[in-house]
């Protein structure tokens, strides 16, 4: 319960609070030379959780699931439910001697019913690194605080500016990915953190930076829920994947249908730069599908919505997914993870209708702002699902060649093994030149050590002691005996292998 001294302290806090040089300054009226307070954030959060656990109510469960750092962010389906949530939450925190304040809602009726001391009086509030405009119920990314100024511009500074843009769900990936490509180019040139950018790089940085600062101009709807009074509403998650030579991306959409209306909205995307070591486009396309599957699983776990389709414009990857042939290791491992998600249907879409194609090459704020393909997906998503595209594609020589290149060749592999085995038989054990050693014993011991190393690489059972065993020495010696016999009695070996009669010649 707040006392008069608490109210005076709060009033003094509001009057003396100042923002200077990017920091908040507060005057403490009650004591001079106060000790620095300890960081007790984790303790405070644990205290809140412990206190809320004492209440076995739906509101208490809602608090636990919707508290982020020191903010409580939640929603309700009606004004009555919101007011009940407000009063019960205030009571729970009051019992813990905590004042939950600065309430705000996108509903003006609720704001009017809030206690004056509890609500905030601004139209734009900061929510988890984003700006929330109360009037039109839209959110935007906070603009970067950095400004282009004379002086030394380094790789460190460029990365600091990129870190200013907080976009955890990837809604602005098409813009940010251009910046990531620029940073990767600096890495490729082995530029150190505090090395000054060249004139050419500085020019690129200024152009990209000026555009990055305009990200806050794009306001997107906070709520994408399709309101309906009927019970036939259906929701599902869709995903589109694509790649370029520089990056690959997966975009997840929430598709809602009810009665005669439907809506699809971008709710999540994940992008990755292509590795510095060059990788083929088909393999990058495969990586795009892989992060698409992972993204769908993540979003499903958060929203508890069924997963349906995933689209890709890579014919080759779709053939890898559907094939029953054994693939090469790199492709096989990723295809196995992709196919582990049994509820995803993989489909083909042409490139110009693939929203993920927008992001893989990068774009500008002005273009992205009104890009319906990125924010809502292709137009045919608004049609009946029976009319959705699953464009068929005809096999062509280039696609077939790439597809076949990742199929494991059993016959050719067997032939290669036979050829390699024949070559190995004509060489001394492990290619050791016995003329480089001073004694027969040293040759055998070196051979035994190499044999142990090979066995450990193959994960075969072998000794791990510091001393060679009798068995290891005998195996090494036997390998040399077999080599000498093959070298000097080749005709006898061939006769034995072909079950021919061995003719002994007198000396």
Contacts 24+ apart (CB under 8 A), 472-476: 472/448, 473/444, 473/445, 473/448, 475/448, 475/451, 476/429, 476/444, 476/445, 476/447, 476/448, 476/451
Range picked from 378-387, 401-410, 491-500 for highest mean pLDDT: 378-387
Confidence band, pLDDT 50/70/90 cuts, at residue 422: very low
Predicted confidence at residue 266, as pLDDT, reads: 95
Give Dmax over CA atoms of the chain in angstroms. 121
Query: CA–CA separation, 342 vs 339, rounded Å?
Result: 6
Q: What is the rounded average pLDDT of the residues 222-236?
A: 79
Q: What is the rounded average pLDDT of the residues 355-377?
A: 90
Q: Which of the two residues, 397 and 128, has the higher pLDDT score?
A: 128
Which domains are delineated in the chain?
1-33 (no CATH), 40-121 (no CATH), 142-223 (no CATH), 231-386 (3.30.420.10), 429-498 (no CATH)
Confidence band, pLDDT 50/70/90 cuts, at residue 305: confident
Q: What is the rounded average pLDDT of the residues 77-97?
A: 90
* The pLDDT of residue 147 is above 70: no
Q: Which of the two residues, 291 and 475, has the higher pLDDT score?
A: 291
Lowest mean pLDDT segment, chosen from 57-61, 139-143, 226-230: 226-230
pTM of the model: 0.69
Query: CA–CA separation, 189 vs 184, rounded Å?
Result: 9
Query: CA–CA separation, 173 vs 308, rounded Å?
Result: 23
Predicted confidence at residue 209, as pLDDT, reads: 85
∠ Cα 259 241 350 (to 5°): 75
Q: What is the rounded average pLDDT of the residues 101-120?
A: 88
Query: CA–CA separation, 255 vs 225, rounded Å?
Result: 10
Predicted confidence at residue 324, as pLDDT, reads: 85
Question: Which residue from 292, 272, 398 is spatially nearest to 338, judged by alpha carbons?
Answer: 292
Catalogue the E-assigned strands of 287-404: 307-312, 345-348
Strands 130-133 and 234-243: unpaired
Predicted confidence at residue 484, as pLDDT, reads: 83
Predicted confidence at residue 174, as pLDDT, reads: 92
Predicted confidence at residue 412, as pLDDT, reads: 42
Predicted confidence at residue 271, as pLDDT, reads: 94
Confidence band, pLDDT 50/70/90 cuts, at residue 416: very low
Query: CA–CA separation, 11 vs 83, rounded Å?
Result: 27
* DSSP per-residue string spanning 154-183: BHHHHHHHHHT---TT-TTHHHHHHHHHHH
* The pLDDT of residue 210 is above 80: yes
- β-pair partners for 23: 20
Q: Report the C-alpha dihedral over residues 161, 163, 166, 168, rounded to 10 degrees.
A: 150
- Tokens linked to 139: 């959110």
Q: Which of the two residues, 388 and 179, has the higher pLDDT score?
A: 179
Lowest mean pLDDT segment, chosen from 143-152, 255-264, 389-398: 389-398
Predicted confidence at residue 506, as pLDDT, reads: 54
Backbone angles phi, psi at 7, to 5 degrees: -65, -40
Average pLDDT, the chain: 82
By the 10 Å C-beta count (0-12 exposed, 13-18 middle, 19+ buried), 50 is classed as exposed
| Each residue's pLDDT tens digit, 315-338 | 889 989 988 888 888 999 999 999
Predicted confidence at residue 488, as pLDDT, reads: 78
Question: Which residue from 383, 370, 379, 319 is spatially nearest to 352, judged by alpha carbons?
Answer: 379
| Each residue's pLDDT tens digit, 448-460 | 888 888 887 877 7
| Contact in structure between 353 and 378 (CB atoms under 8 Å) | yes
Query: CA–CA separation, 59 vs 49, rounded Å?
Result: 13
| Contact in structure between 388 and 308 (CB atoms under 8 Å) | no
Where do the H-state alpha helices sit in 307-383?
Answer: 315-322, 329-339, 356-360, 365-369, 372-376
Q: Which of the two residues, 251 and 383, has the higher pLDDT score?
A: 251
- Tokens linked to 340: 């582990």
């Amino acid at each position: 319960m707040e006392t008069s001294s608490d109210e005076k302290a709060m009033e003094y806090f509001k009057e003396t609070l100042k923002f200077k040089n990017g920091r908040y300054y507060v005057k403490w009226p009650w004591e001079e030379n106060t000790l620095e307070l300890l960081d007790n954030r984790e303790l405070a959060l644990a205290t809140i959780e412990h206190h809320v656990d004492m209440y076995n109510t739906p509101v208490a469960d809602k608090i636990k699931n919707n508290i982020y750092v020191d903010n409580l962010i939640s929603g309700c389906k009606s004004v009555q439910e919101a007011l009940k949530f407000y009063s019960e939450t205030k009571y729970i925190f009051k019992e813990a001697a905590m004042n939950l304040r600065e309430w705000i809602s996108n509903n003006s009726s609720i704001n009017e019913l809030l206690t004056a001391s509890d609500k905030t009086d601004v139209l734009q509030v900061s929510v988890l690194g984003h700006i929330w405009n109360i009037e039109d119920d839209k959110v935007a990314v906070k603009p970067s605080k950095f400004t282009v100024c004379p002086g030394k511009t380094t790789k460190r500074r460029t990365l600091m500016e990129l870190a200013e843009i907080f976009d955890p769900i990837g809604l602005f990936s098409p813009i940010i990915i251009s910046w990531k490509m620029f940073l990767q180019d600096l890495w490729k040139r082995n530029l150190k953190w505090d090395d000054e950018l060249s004139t050419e790089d500085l020019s690129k940085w200024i152009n990209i930076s000026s555009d990055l600062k305009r990200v806050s101009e794009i306001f997107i709807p906070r709520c994408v829920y399709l309101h309906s009074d009927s019970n036939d509403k259906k929701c599902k998650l869709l995903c589109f994947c694509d790649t370029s030579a520089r990056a690959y991306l997966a975009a997840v959409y929430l598709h809602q249908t009810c009665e005669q209306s439907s809506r699809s909205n971008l709710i999540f995307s994940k992008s990755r730069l292509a590795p510095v070591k060059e990788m083929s486009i088909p393999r990058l396309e495969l990586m795009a599908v892989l992060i698409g599957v992972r993204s769908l699983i993540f979003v499903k776990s958060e929203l508890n919505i069924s997963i349906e389709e995933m689209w890709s414009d890579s014919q080759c990857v779709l053939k890898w997914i559907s094939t029953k042939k054994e693939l090469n290791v790199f492709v096989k491992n990723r295809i196995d993870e992709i196919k582990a998600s049994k509820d995803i249907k993989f489909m083909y879409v042409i490139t110009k209708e693939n929203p993920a194609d927008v992001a893989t090459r990068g774009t500008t704020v002005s273009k992205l702002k009104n890009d319906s393909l990125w924010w809502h997906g292709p137009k045919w998503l608004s049609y009946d699902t029976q009319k959705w595209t699953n464009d068929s594609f005809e096999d062509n020589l280039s696609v077939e060649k790439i597809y076949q290149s990742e199929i494991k060749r059993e016959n050719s592999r067997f032939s290669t093994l036979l050829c390699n085995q024949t070559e190995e038989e004509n060489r001394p054990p492990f290619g050791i030149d016995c003329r480089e050693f001073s004694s027969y014993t040293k040759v055998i011991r070196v051979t035994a050590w190499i044999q142990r190393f090979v066995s450990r690489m193959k994960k075969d059972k072998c000794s791990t002691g510091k001393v060679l065993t009798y068995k290891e020495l005998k195996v090494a010696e036997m390998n040399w005996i077999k080599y000498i016999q093959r070298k000097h009695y080749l005709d006898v070996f061939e006769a034995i292998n072909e079950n021919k009669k061995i003719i002994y010649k007198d000396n």
